[in-house]
Structure 1
Amino acid sequence: MIEKNQTGADVAGRPLPELTEENRFFWTSGADNQLRVQECQSCSALIHPPVPVCRYCRGQQMGVRDVSGYATLIGFTVNHRFGLPGMPPPYVIAQVALEDDPRVRLTTNAIECDPDSLELGMRMEVVFQQEEDVWLPLFRPTAEQGTPAPLPVDEVEPEQVWRYVRPMVSQDKFEDKVAITGVGMSQIGRRLMRPPLSLTIEACERAIADAGLTLDDIDGLSTYPGGGPTGPFGEGGMTALESALGIRPTWYNGGMETFGPGGSVIAAMLAVASGLARHVLCFRTVWEATHGEYVKQGKLSPMIGSGRTTSWQIPFGALSAAHTLAQNAQRHFHRYGTTRETLGWIALNQRANAELEPTAIYRDKMTMEDYLSARTITTPFGLYDCDVPCDAATAVIVSARDAAEDLAKPPVYVEAVGTQIIERLDWDQSTLTHEPQVLGQAAHMWSRTTLQPQDIDVAQLYDGFTFNCLSWIEALGFCGIGEAKDFLDGGKNIARDGLIPINTHGGQLSHGRTHGMGLIHEAVIQLRGEGGARQVADAKTAVASSGGLTPSGVVLLRNYA
């Protein structure tokens, strides 16, 4: 029997999956009330999402298997903030691991239950909900519940990531051939109502002046995410900037499949080290606040609405990275005893640092009570677990090392980068207890340097959410895996005078969501000693991370040759 409207909402207009020859068997399997998943006919592994090759044995004989429809609840979050047509909040987004093969996880909605009664490890069963030509597999707790099952084992356990790091191809490091010579940031604020390209040009001009260069010296451009329909996350890419300024670069780069939002900087290092360019201008622009205001005024359309989607998450209302990371945080809580207060110390640290940075968007004092009592976004995240949407552009200039010595500011040198993908890329199939695409990149970076975590003076760690920052703290070895609760307790270890000062300008949680590039900007400011009241004394080394979930990157910088 097919159940309908189990979320209790008017489902008209809910985003539905786009049916293709590759996925039709999955999205229509509920027509006869039987869940089906792709199977490798060589090794019998279940594969999801469906692909033409098995990731386990590399076999290419793929088929479809009828599965039991029973699963283990391995994550859930109650969404209070985000809504979609036909899906007004609150509703429960969940992840389940199939009993037939726990390596397969489905994003779904938990239905016919009190969210407060849900518990990790519960046994769940599929219930299909038909919408047009799609049968959505939703899950409810089974009538009989035994002892909760343990969380499934990650394909790569966090403590074992280092085993998968590839050795250096050559001892001749490209990092030794480059330096950062200029940084610039535009005006930053909420709803500036300025064209995004004007912010880009302002940041780029400031970076060029900071380096003591001219536009004619710039022979490379690098950006993220590049051109295309990026909505509030860009100005039109390299094409837009080159058309405005007429730079005529010998090398250029733009795109989302790179080393996180700051991946443009690492790509520029490679171009400079190879001799394709001498001075590459890297830039990143966001105008989320203004874009949101235009959407409210009806002048722009929202990026996600009703209709068809290729996503495996959006049909269940999981439209934000918050919905994935909230479940990773929940599992970290479950396995290691972390609490909301643990995340709160990160938010409070960033706010305390922002109080000393005049350009920060949030500068008012914040207490733990303020943090804990803020409105819920998606459990366990509240308002202050989330970064601040803003309008801003950031620019960084990467130069050849031999060209950097005589410029306006002392160069900042590159000790190492970390870029290797070790964990699965699919958000709901990847690392359970940490932000995916953090552990592997961190381990890769340490393989390219003789420096160790205790040698780092300041860390600018990606904090789109508090849990991102916690994941980087553990991944980079500032404390052990699962030890963040004790390490962060009281906030002393990450304060400006602590063991490892973190996000000294307020980070994205308080300074503003500059999407990783602002963290590189702040690392350079600290290594130059230009931080003013927030300056960390005698800072010689800095690590700056960029992204996570999507491919990410991390760079280790120093101010000495």
Structure 2
Amino acid sequence: MDKFESRSRITGIGMSQVGRRLGVDPVGLAIDACIAALADAGLTRRDIDGLACHMGPVSSDGYSGAGIIDVEEVLRIHPRWFVSGHEMAGHSGPLLQAALAIAAGLCRHVLIFRCTWETTALARARSDRDPAPQAPWVEGDHQWRLPFGAFSPANWIALYADRHFNKYGTTREQLGAIALNARANAALNAYAVYKDPLTMDDYLSARMISTPLGLYDCDVPCDGAVAMVLSAADAARDTRRPNPIRIEAMGGQTTERWSWDQDTIDHEPLMKGAASSMWARTDLKPADVAMAQIYDGFTFNCLSWIETLGFCPTGEGGRFVEGGTRIALDGELPINTHGGQLSAGRLQGYGFLHEACVQLWGEAGDRQVPGDPQVSVVTTGGGAPGGAILLTQG
């Protein structure tokens, strides 16, 4: 198959400082990550002719920080092609768009980035003596949720988790294995937000958020930014790294309703199309995957992706992760080797892309997956449009 994915390579990655309530301007975080990615690729800003990011500065809640305009203005990059937005195939949608643009000959080196500063924004909002006035009415899907106190994705995803518990016999201890695995891996990660040991007793005794999800089932808001450079395959020869990472396949198809509550509640929505379209573009199978960097906004997100990607049959996800041995660093399918968003911090999906590259380059140090891993799957999103990517060593 002559695939658009085969025409580009990941040639550099970068990350800013990551933490809680850093008090750093989000544009500064984004620029730090972008400069680090350029240095990692051995390129200068004059080499970059494409820019891509997920979202942009669309709200004051810190969910998204810097955008295309900010990075272009500070670094004075004059892109021949650029893209930004929310309605894409998961948070990794800009990577898919950048690969398409390179395959079409629109650009040669694309700088892709994502920035969040949720904890600093929240701290500022709490200290604001003149909070913004409330809207006089609620529109869209929220009109069916807010009257019942369902303000958060924690409430909505809890419905799917509860359904899974009742239909398949899934337990809180099984979800807890995902949280404990994340914390164990985060302890080996210098930039992780939470590194202290987490026991099953800690997990089970923590306060409930939305039954059956407790505190440690929820990911950790943080401040930080991640960037990467995607280069045309022939142009990758001019970069610093001798072994740029290949994109084997990408999936972003939508086969389900976009609504959170108008389709099945057997699994988290908007995952199946991404997974099936990814597998349709490769000869590789789930058994070929050496590790999985799986979006874990909540523990149930991760469990849903495990099933949807075909690592176990539907309904067997709880038993697959039970005890944590299969998904540990030395297990048959190491999952979220940096600690995921549950412990390392919610970098809006880009922490998973960063970690997959670090692992495939063999640069993960104490948390390096043994046996020279060759293939990693990365997923982003779910509940919102999902994205699925297979990355391989160059």
Report the TM-score, using the length of structure 1 for normalisation: 0.68
- Cα deviation 1:71-115 (Å, max 9, x = unaligned): xxxxxxxxxxxxxxxxxxxxxxxxxxxxxxxxxxxxxxxxxxxxx
Partner of 1:549: 383
Structure 1 runs, 4 residues or longer, greater than 6 Å off: none
> RMSD in angstroms over aligned alpha carbons?
1.4
More deviation, 242-251/211-220 = 242-251
Alignment equivalent of 2:81, drawn from 251, 263, 271: 251
Rg: which structure is higher?
Answer: 1
In structure 2, relative to structure 1, the CA distance for the partners of 1:450 and 1:301 (3 Å cut) is farther
- Cα deviation 1:356-399 (Å, max 9, x = unaligned): 11111110011111001111111111110000110000101111
Between the aligned partners of 1:230 and 1:499, the Cα distance in structure 2 is: 42
Between the aligned partners of 1:506 and 1:369, the Cα distance in structure 2 is: 19
Aligned-partner SS, 1:175: helix
Partner of 2:128: 298
Deviation at 1:299, TM superposition (A): 6.4
Alignment equivalent of 1:344, drawn from 163, 171, 176: 176
Between the aligned partners of 1:475 and 1:323, the Cα distance in structure 2 is: 21
Partner of 1:69: none
The one-letter code of the counterpart of 2:196 is D
Contact 2:90–2:252 (CA under 8 A) maintained in structure 1:
no
Q: How does 1:15-414 map to 2 (within 5 A)?
A: 171-229=1-59, 231-298=61-128, 301=131, 305-312=134-141, 313-409=145-241, 410-414=243-247
In structure 2, relative to structure 1, the CA distance for the partners of 1:505 and 1:300 (3 Å cut) is farther
Between the aligned partners of 2:49 and 2:264, the Cα distance in structure 1 is: 40
Contact 1:419–1:444 (CA under 8 A) maintained in structure 2:
yes
More deviation, 248-257/430-439 = 430-439
In structure 2, relative to structure 1, the CA distance for the partners of 1:438 and 1:525 (3 Å cut) is same
Q: How does 1:477-556 map to 2 (within 5 A)?
A: 477-537=310-370, 538-556=372-390
- Cα deviation 1:156-190 (Å, max 9, x = unaligned): xxxxxxxxxxxxxxx32101101111111100000
Contact 1:424–1:430 (CA under 8 A) maintained in structure 2:
yes
Between the aligned partners of 1:317 and 1:433, the Cα distance in structure 2 is: 22
Deviation at 1:310, TM superposition (A): 1.5
In structure 2, relative to structure 1, the CA distance for the partners of 1:176 and 1:299 (3 Å cut) is farther
In structure 2, relative to structure 1, the CA distance for the partners of 1:300 and 1:201 (3 Å cut) is farther
The one-letter code of the counterpart of 1:545 is T
The one-letter code of the counterpart of 2:300 is F
Between the aligned partners of 1:483 and 1:559, the Cα distance in structure 2 is: 30
Percent identity at matched positions?
A: 52
Deviation at 1:463, TM superposition (A): 0.4
- Cα deviation 1:203-222 (Å, max 9, x = unaligned): 00000000000000111110
Contact 1:175–1:414 (CA under 8 A) maintained in structure 2:
yes
- Cα deviation 1:500-547 (Å, max 9, x = unaligned): 100000000000000101100000000000000000121110011011
The one-letter code of the counterpart of 2:35 is E
Deviation at 1:307, TM superposition (A): 2.5
Deviation at 1:339, TM superposition (A): 0.8
Report the TM-score, using the length of structure 2 for normalisation: 0.96
Contact 1:294–1:300 (CA under 8 A) maintained in structure 2:
no
Deviation at 1:474, TM superposition (A): 0.5
Between the aligned partners of 2:302 and 2:161, the Cα distance in structure 1 is: 11
Richer in helix (by share): 2
Between the aligned partners of 2:356 and 2:135, the Cα distance in structure 1 is: 41
Contact 2:30–2:66 (CA under 8 A) maintained in structure 1:
no
Contact 2:61–2:122 (CA under 8 A) maintained in structure 1:
no
Aligned-partner SS, 1:372: helix
Structure 1, gaps ≥5 residues long = 1-170
Partner of 1:464: 297
- Cα deviation 1:302-344 (Å, max 9, x = unaligned): 7x94522223323433221111111000001111110111110
Aligned-partner SS, 2:384: coil
The structure whose RCO (Cα within 8 Å, separation 6+) is larger is 2
Deviation at 1:231, TM superposition (A): 2.9
Aligned-partner SS, 2:382: coil
The one-letter code of the counterpart of 2:192 is A
Between the aligned partners of 2:195 and 2:309, the Cα distance in structure 1 is: 28
Count of equivalent residues: 389
Structure 2, gaps ≥5 residues long = none
